[in-house]
Structures are given as structure tokens and as C-alpha cells.
Structure 1
């Protein structure tokens, strides 16, 4: 039985090794003989020219200790001598940003007008001279429709600048 199986395998292998594809193999050999990969030559390397750094004596924008102030009068005490009084006791409305305080009304008693403002969940009565907001805002005038303030704001150079702000009456009471 073994001999029969061995004979069948040998005849099968002999049948597959025929010369019927020899012309195809020859054609492939002639086509691939001239095929070679073509690599373009490398580009010429440019020489690196170093540029000397000559700005050591210039002001370095990343080191604030080297920035020279152009005007010595623009220090923290400039601005017409206006600066906030850090020693006075803070009033309750100075804990709130001015944007979060709402004017909800006004009251006049004995020829003095008071403003009614809401900050957080509380209602406060304010008068001229009271402070409110986080920018040292002092109330300079109160009328039926608005409260006028003067604030002291420090700019980037340390100078204190005076700015005028106003709280407008919120129509409808705006109960939140």
C-alpha cells in the first residue's frame, strides 16, 4: 500500500513540472533583468552660517528686574497723591464686587437721600461717603435713579487712577 501511495505522489509531482510555462518564465526573466531601483542623488548640503547674538545689552522682556521705568514719577505714590487708605476699617459692602451689587431703591429722610442696595441675600442702606465694591469705591452722589461712585484702581505700573462708576436703579425690584 505504501508503494502505491508513493507512486501516486511521484506521478503527481512529475505532472506539475511541465514545460508549458517556460515561455512565461523566460519573459519575466527578461523584464526583470533591466529593472533596477533608481535613487535620486542626495541634495547638496548647505553650510550653516551662525549669526552672532548682539542684543545682550538690550532690555530682556522676560526679566522684569531689568525694565527701566521711563518716568520716575509714575511710581506707586503717583497719580496726584490719590491712593486708598489701607488703615481704615472695611465696610460690609466692600466684600462684594461692584458688579454683584444692585440698586433697588432710594429713601429721602430729613433732606438726606439714602440708597437701598442688594448684595448677596441682604439689603443695605447706604449714604454719601460710604464705601462699596472691591476697588475702594466711595459714594459721591445718590439720586432716585442711580448711585455714583469714585473708585481707585491700580494700573500695571503701580499708579492709582480714579474712575467713575454708577449703579443704576433696577426696575421691577429684581427680587432673586
Structure 2
């Protein structure tokens, strides 16, 4: 009896496997049909049209242009003020004025020294006649609240202009 039970069970299992006897190719074709992606078509390719090059001057466009030399004379022969560049540069002339800050003063009476901090945290003391900033700024006056500086700037045609700048004393109240 035990043998018959095993045979019946094996037969039932084999009959159950016959239920899904579709060929594998049909299954794959059906899976591909159902899984098709819906992709929007791409926009039309932009077509670049280059303009034709037309030479409008005698200058060759592939060579570096030379500065115009309307006046071949140097600024020294002009009738305008020229700075003297033969002096030794001071340490505070390596920094723009925006990066320097006045933190205090020393001295009294006629001679006041200003305490200037650099971006690296170095402390320098300067007085009237010293130079500060990138534009050859000469210290004209040191007061209790600021330093008056006269900077020298080129005007582009060989002469130089003077500009007054004030570097204020930074107090703990003025720091934001």
C-alpha cells in the first residue's frame, strides 16, 4: 500500500507540472511587449550656421594688439606732476588699504604714531611721511581718530593724480 501511495503522489506532481507547458519563447515575447517604455521624441537638433568672416581693418585678428601710441613722448616730458619712484618701499605698501586697519595711536603732543594691523596680524607703527597701501599712499596726518593718506594714481595718459583717503580708527564698538 505504501508503494501505491508514493506512485499516486509522484503522478500528481507530474500532472501539476504539465499545467504550465507554454514555450519559453512565447513568454519572452509577451514580457517584451508588456515592458515597452514610452519615450518622448528628442527635440530637433539645432543647426549652427557660421557667419562669413569679413576683414574690416588692416589689423590681423590673430596677433596680439599693440597699445596705441598716440603720443610717443613719455609722461616725464609732459607738463604734469610725476611721482618719484626712487625711494625704498615700506612694509605696509604690500597691502591694499582695505586690508589694513588702524587699531590705536601712540605718542602725544606734536608727534602721533598710528598702530596698523596687517591681514597676517602683524602690528606696525607709522607716522607722518611714511607710506602705506598699494598706490604709494603717503601719510599726511595722524589724528586721534584717523589717518589722512594721499594716494597717487595714474590717469592713463602718462600723468598722475592725487587722491585723499582716510583710514579710520577701528574701535570695538565699530566692529560688526
Q: Who is 1:107 aligned against? A: 106
Q: Who is 1:42 aligned against? A: none
Report Cα offsets for 1:14-67 as digits up to 9, x if no partner: xxxxxxxxxxxxxxxxxxxxxxxxxxxxxxxxxxxxxxx8876xxxxx986584
- Structure 1: runs of 5 or more not aligned: 1-52, 57-61
Could you tell me whether the CA contact under 8 Å between 2:80 and 2:159 is conserved in 1?
Answer: no
Give the superposition deviation at 1:169. Answer: 0.9
Q: Who is 1:14 aligned against? A: none
- Structure 2: runs of 5 or more not aligned: 1-54
Larger Rg: 1
Q: What secondary structure does 1:164 align onto?
A: strand
Distance 1:125-1:173 versus aligned 2 partners, 3 A rule: farther
Distance 1:145 1:99 in 2: 17
Could you tell me whether the CA contact under 8 Å between 1:117 and 1:124 is conserved in 2?
Answer: yes
Distance 1:112 1:164 in 2: 21
Q: Who is 2:127 aligned against? A: 127
User: Are residues 1:96 and 2:95 paired?
Assistant: yes
Could you tell me whether the CA contact under 8 Å between 1:104 and 1:118 is conserved in 2?
Answer: yes
Could you tell me whether the CA contact under 8 Å between 2:75 and 2:82 is conserved in 1?
Answer: no
Query: What is the aligned-residue RMSD (CA, Å)?
Result: 3.4
Give the superposition deviation at 1:96. Answer: 1.1
For normalisation by structure 1, the TM-score amounts to 0.55
Distance 1:91 1:173 in 2: 30
Give the superposition deviation at 1:174. Answer: 7.9
Give the superposition deviation at 1:159. Answer: 2.3
For normalisation by structure 2, the TM-score amounts to 0.55
Q: Who is 2:162 aligned against? A: 162
